Amino acid sequence: MGEHKHTHTVHSGSELIEAARESLIASGEQWTSMRADIFEELANHDKPASAYDIADNLSAKRGKRVAPNSVYRILDLFVTNNLALRVESSNAYLANSHPGCTHDCIFLVCDECGEATHVDNDDVSNTVRGIAQAENFTARRPIVEIRGICATCS
């Protein structure tokens, strides 16, 4: 089991979009106008967004229907390439503020407001991966979600 310690630069705004574009291109994928629009829309959300939310907003902006299935495919590509994070319990997505940075997903999800805070914690990641390894299981993408109430809602 390897260490997952790392440092990364947290991006926002146009810098985040440029970092995502560079990371996707570096992985051998194309940065199309639809992918750019979907990432920009995702990055504009403070809380996890569903593919339907993104499709509805893009449809209104573009003046023509954007199919949620197309959005799902692109979001899955973003998750695979570490541009987005998926909150499994709500089937919603967050833009990764440090695109291309590979680490395990640990979320604190508020049951009141829906806020999902992504936390990097190497101790938790190493413990989860260690448990998997002890069972002769290769962990590829550990995800830990802790449901509760955020500080703002409590």
Burial track 78-110 (b if 16+ CB lie within 10 A, e otherwise)? bbebbbbbbbeebebbbbbbbbbbebbbbbbbb
Q: Is the pLDDT of residue 1 over 50?
A: no
Look at residue 116 and tell me if it is in a domain: yes
Look at residue 2 and tell me if it is in a domain: no
Give the model's confidence band at 7: pLDDT under 50 very low, under 70 low, under 90 confident, else very high. low
Residue 111: per-residue pLDDT? 92
Q: What is the pLDDT of residues 74-129, one digit of tens each?
A: 999 999 998 999 999 889 999 988 776 666 778 899 999 988 888 888 888 889 99
Whichever domain contains 144, its CATH number is: 3.30.1490.190
Global pTM reads: 0.80
Strands (E) in 51-136, as ranges, are: 84-87, 92-95, 105-110, 116-119
| 51 and 90 co-located in one domain | yes
| 18 and 55 co-located in one domain | yes
| 58 and 132 co-located in one domain | no
| 17 and 89 co-located in one domain | yes
Look at residue 25 and tell me if it is in a domain: yes
Name the domain count of the chain. 2
| 71 and 135 co-located in one domain | no
Q: Is the pLDDT of residue 6 over 80?
A: no
Residue 117 structural domain: 105-148
Q: What is the pLDDT of residues 14-68, one digit of tens each?
A: 888 999 999 999 999 999 999 999 999 999 998 899 999 999 999 999 999 999 9
Whichever domain contains 87, its CATH number is: 1.10.10.10
Look at residue 61 and tell me if it is in a domain: yes
| 109 and 135 co-located in one domain | yes
Residue 63: per-residue pLDDT? 94
Burial track 16-52 (b if 16+ CB lie within 10 A, e otherwise)? bbebbbebbeeeeeeeeeebebbbbbbbebeebbbbe
Residue 102: per-residue pLDDT? 67
Give the model's confidence band at 9: pLDDT under 50 very low, under 70 low, under 90 confident, else very high. low
Among 74, 95, 116, the domain-final residue is 95
Residue 12: per-residue pLDDT? 60
Look at residue 39 and tell me if it is in a domain: yes
